[in-house]
Amino acid sequence: MGQVKAGSSIEVGADPQRTLAAITDYTEMRPKILSAHYRDYKVVEGGQGDGTVAEWTLQATEKRVRNIRAQVSVADTVVTEKDANSTLVNTWKVTPSGAGSTVTLETTWQGAGGIAGIFEGIFAPLGLRKIQAEVLANLNRELG
């Protein structure tokens, strides 16, 4: 069982503080930036930043569905969403870039073992990067 990782980045025109505020707004902003791969999104606790708990269903493929219960922690310019139902972790990093910011979204989890794990390690990151790119493009659009 090896770690599987997928990551995507985007340059946005908003400064790091505004960008981080948008990423950590699970009540208003998050529903606006999620792609059609996300269903049943809801905030369970909090809604703004550290300590927030949110749930959603990620439909990565027709057969690949994950029910996520994310516990959010924020440290400086890094937002971590740890799934209580699995080993999945989303990490959002915001860094200054010229007049704007670079946002990197990385997802990691412990993959399956054996031959299934080999295929998962090859194909799952490809599909997840497409989903991440769509979410990041939506974030960029919302930040205007």
Give yes or no for a contact between 107 and 6, defined as CB atoms under 8 angstroms apart.
Answer: yes
CATH number of the domain bearing residue 75: 3.30.530.20
Note down the domain range covering 90: 3-143
pLDDT at 51 over 60: yes
pLDDT tens digit sequence for 31-43: 999 999 999 999 9
DSSP 61: S
With cut-offs at 50, 70 and 90, classify the pLDDT of residue 119: low
Q: Reduce the secondary structure of 5-31 to three states and give it as a string.
A: EEEEEEEECCCHHHHHHHHCECCCHHH
pLDDT higher than threshold 80 for residue 126: no
Contact between residue 84 and residue 38 where contact means Cβ atoms under 8 Å apart = no
Q: How many domains does the chain have?
A: 1
pTM for the predicted model, two decimal places: 0.89
| Per-residue model confidence as pLDDT tens digits over 68-109 | 999 999 999 999 999 999 999 999 999 999 999 999 999 987
pLDDT band at residue 63, thresholds of 50, 70 and 90? confident
Q: Sheet of 100-110: strands edge to edge?
A: 3-12, 100-110, 89-97, 78-83, 65-75, 53-59, 38-45
Percent of the chain residues past pLDDT 70, beyond the cut: 88
Calculate the average pLDDT of the chain: 89
**Residue 13 tokens, joined:** 């025109």
13 pLDDT tier (thresholds 50, 70, 90): very high
